[in-house]
C-alpha cells in the first residue's frame, strides 16, 4: 500500500521534472550567447511535485468518499456553511459582529486598508449584479465590464462637459447601463450557452475598443483625469474624510443592493428567471414571456454595474479604457462562481476573498498571480459549487408517526 503510493508519487515527480525541464531549467541569454542550466529548479520541482501529488490523491479520495456517502444515503449532506446560515443563533450574533467591524473599520485601520475595502465592496455590487444574469437567470455573460465602463464614463463625461454632480449621475449612469443591457439583450435573445458567451464577450470588447479609439469622444487610451469625488451637501473635505465618506456610502449602497436583490429573487420575475435557467421550453409553456424575462435580467444586471461604475469613477478620480478589459469581466465572473452561483451570501464572500486574497498574498510578491491561479483551480476541483453553495428550496415531506 505505502510502497504503491510512493511509486505513484515518484512517477508523478519524474513526469513533472520532464514537463518543466525546458522552461524551468534552461535559461538562454541571447545577448551574450550563453545558456544557464538551473539544476536547482529541477530538484525543487521534483520534491515539490512528489509531496503535492501524495496530498492531491489523498484529498481527491476523500472527496470521492463524500460523494459516495451522499449517493448511498440518498440525502444530500448539509454542509457546514449551510447549517450555519440557517441557524438563527449563529446568524444574529455574526451579523452583529460584522456590522460593528464594518462601522469601526475606517477608524481603526489605515487609509490604504479602507481603500481596499471600498474596492471589495464595489466588487460586491458588481458580483451581485452579475449574479442576476449568470447565477439566477443562467445566461453566461463574459462582457459585464462593458456596463461597468458605461457607468464610469457616463459620470466622467457628463461631469466634464456639463458639470453634472455625483448624485444626479448615479441615477443616470445606472439608467444608461440598463439601456445598454437592453441593447445587448435584443440580438442575443435567440442565442444560448456559449454562443451567448461569445457575443457578450464581443460586446464588451466593442465598447472598450470604441472608448480606446474614439479620441474626440472619450479622450482615448489616456483616459479622463480629475473626476470630482462625491460631494456631501457642499462640505469641504480632505482626502481622509472623503475616503471615509465613500466607505460609508459604499456600505449603504451594498446594503441597498443586498436588500433589492434579495427581494428580487423571491419576486415573480425572480422565479421566472430561475424557471428560465432550469428549462427554457417548460418555462415558456407555463406562460412566461421569455423575451421580457431575459431582457429584464440583462437590464437589471447592468443597472448595478452602472452604479458601481459611477462610484468607481468618483473614487479613483481617473478612468481609462484599460480598467474595463476582458480580464475585468472574467474577474467579476470569478467572484460569482467562486462565491457560489445564485447565493447572495456566497457572492459577497466571493468578492471579499477575490479582492482581499491577492492583496494579502502580497508577501508572495511576484508569485501572487501564480498562487491565485492555483487557488482558483484547487477551489473549483474540491468545491465546484463555490464557497457557499445554494440549496434549492425543496418541499420536505415528513411522515408523522
Q: Which residues bind other proteins (CB under 8 A)?
A: 15-16, 18-20, 22-24, 26-28, 30, 33, 35, 41, 60, 63, 134, 140, 187, 190-192, 194-195, 197-199, 201-203, 205-206, 209-210, 213, 280-282, 326, 330, 333-334, 337-338, 341, 366-367, 369-370, 372-377, 379-381, 384-386
- Closer of 260 and 330 to other proteins (Cβ): 330
**Least distance between other proteins and beta carbon 24 (Å):** 5
Helix runs in 75-165, H state only: 80-85, 88-108, 111-130, 145-162
> Cα 265 to chain center, whole Å?
19
- Closer of 148 and 203 to other proteins (Cβ): 203
- Closer of 1 and 281 to other proteins (Cβ): 281
- Closer of 31 and 401 to other proteins (Cβ): 31
Gap between the terminal Cα atoms of the chain? 48
**Least distance between other proteins and beta carbon 398 (Å):** 30
Pairwise CA distance, residues 195 & 201, whole Å: 10
**Least distance between other proteins and beta carbon 376 (Å):** 3
The string of DSSP letters for 166-194 reads: HHHHHHHHHHHHHHHHHHHHTTTTT--HH
Dihedral angle, C-alpha 395, 399, 400, 401, nearest 10 °: -160
Pairwise CA distance, residues 302 & 127, whole Å: 11
- Closer of 264 and 379 to other proteins (Cβ): 379
Pairwise CA distance, residues 289 & 281, whole Å: 11
- Closer of 231 and 385 to other proteins (Cβ): 385
Element (H or E) spanning 29, and its range? strand 26-29
Residue at grid coordinates 449532506: 77
**Least distance between other proteins and beta carbon 261 (Å):** 19
**Least distance between other proteins and beta carbon 29 (Å):** 9
- Closer of 197 and 311 to other proteins (Cβ): 197
Q: Cα dihedral sign for 123, 129, 135, 139?
A: negative
- Closer of 202 and 231 to other proteins (Cβ): 202
- Cell numbers describing residue 371: 498562487
**Least distance between other proteins and beta carbon 260 (Å):** 24
Pairwise CA distance, residues 76 & 70, whole Å: 6
Closest CA to 67 of 326, 320, 379, 382: 382
Pairwise CA distance, residues 319 & 260, whole Å: 28
- Closer of 161 and 190 to other proteins (Cβ): 190
370 with 389: CB under 8 angstroms? no
- Closer of 114 and 200 to other proteins (Cβ): 200
78 burial (CB, 10 Å; 0-12 / 13-18 / 19+) is exposed
CA distances from 334 to 106, 278, 313, 345 (A): 27, 22, 22, 15
- Cell numbers describing residue 32: 551574450
Amino acid at each position: 500500500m505505502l510502497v504503491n503510493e510512493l511509486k505513484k508519487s515518484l512517477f508523478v515527480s519524474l513526469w513533472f521534472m520532464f514537463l518543466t525541464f525546458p522552461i524551468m531549467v534552461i535559461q538562454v541569454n541571447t545577448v551574450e550567447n550563453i545558456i544557464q542550466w538551473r539544476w536547482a529548479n529541477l530538484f525543487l520541482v521534483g520534491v515539490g511535485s512528489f509531496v503535492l501529488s501524495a496530498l492531491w490523491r489523498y484529498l481527491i479520495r476523500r472527496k470521492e468518499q463524500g460523494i459516495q456517502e451522499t449517493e448511498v444515503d440518498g440525502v444530500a449532506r448539509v454542509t457546514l456553511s449551510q447549517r450555519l446560515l440557517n441557524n438563527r443563533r449563529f446568524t444574529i450574533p455574526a451579523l452583529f459582529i460584522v456590522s460593528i467591524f464594518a462601522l469601526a473599520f475606517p477608524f481603526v485601520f489605515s487609509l490604504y486598508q479602507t481603500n481596499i475595502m471600498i474596492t471589495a465592496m464595489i466588487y460586491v455590487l458588481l458580483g451581485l449584479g452579475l449574479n442576476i444574469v449568470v447565477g439566477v437567470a443562467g445566461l453566461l455573460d463574459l462582457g459585464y465590464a462593458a456596463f461597468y465602463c458605461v457607468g464610469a464614463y457616463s459620470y466622467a463625461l457628463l461631469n466634464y462637459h456639463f458639470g453634472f454632480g455625483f448624485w444626479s449621475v448615479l441615477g443616470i449612469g445606472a439608467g444608461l447601463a440598463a439601456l445598454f443591457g437592453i441593447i445587448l439583450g435584443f440580438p442575443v435573445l435567440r442565442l444560448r450557452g456559449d454562443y451567448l458567451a461569445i457575443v457578450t464577450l464581443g460586446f464588451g470588447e466593442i465598447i472598450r475598443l470604441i472608448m480606446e479609439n474614439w479620441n474626440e469622444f472619450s479622450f482615448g487610451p489616456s483616459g479622463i483625469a480629475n473626476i470630482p469625488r462625491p460631494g456631501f451637501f457642499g462640505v469641504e473635505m480632505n482626502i481622509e474624510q472623503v475616503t471615509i465618506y465613500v466607505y460609508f456610502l459604499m456600505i449603504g449602497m451594498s446594503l441597498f443592493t443586498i436588500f433589492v436583490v434579495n427581494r428580487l429573487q423571491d419576486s415573480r420575475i425572480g422565479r421566472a428567471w430561475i424557471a428560465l435557467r432550469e428549462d427554457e421550453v417548460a418555462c415558456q409553456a407555463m406562460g412566461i414571456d421569455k423575451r421580457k424575462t431575459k431582457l429584464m435580467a440583462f437590464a437589471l444586471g447592468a443597472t448595478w454595474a452602472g452604479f458601481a461604475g459611477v462610484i468607481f469613477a468618483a473614487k479613483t478620480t481617473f478612468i481609462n479604457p484599460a480598467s474595463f478589459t476582458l480580464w475585468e469581466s472574467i474577474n467579476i465572473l470569478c467572484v460569482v462562481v467562486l462565491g457560489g452561483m445564485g447565493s447572495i451570501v456566497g457572492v459577497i464572500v466571493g468578492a471579499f476573498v477575490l479582492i482581499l486574497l491577492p492583496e494579502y498574498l502580497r508577501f508572495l510578491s511576484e508569485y501572487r498571480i501564480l498562487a491565485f491561479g492555483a487557488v482558483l483551480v484547487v477551489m473549483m476541483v474540491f468545491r465546484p459549487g463555490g464557497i457557499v453553495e445554494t440549496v434549492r428550496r425543496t418541499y420536505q415531506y415528513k411522515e408523522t408517526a
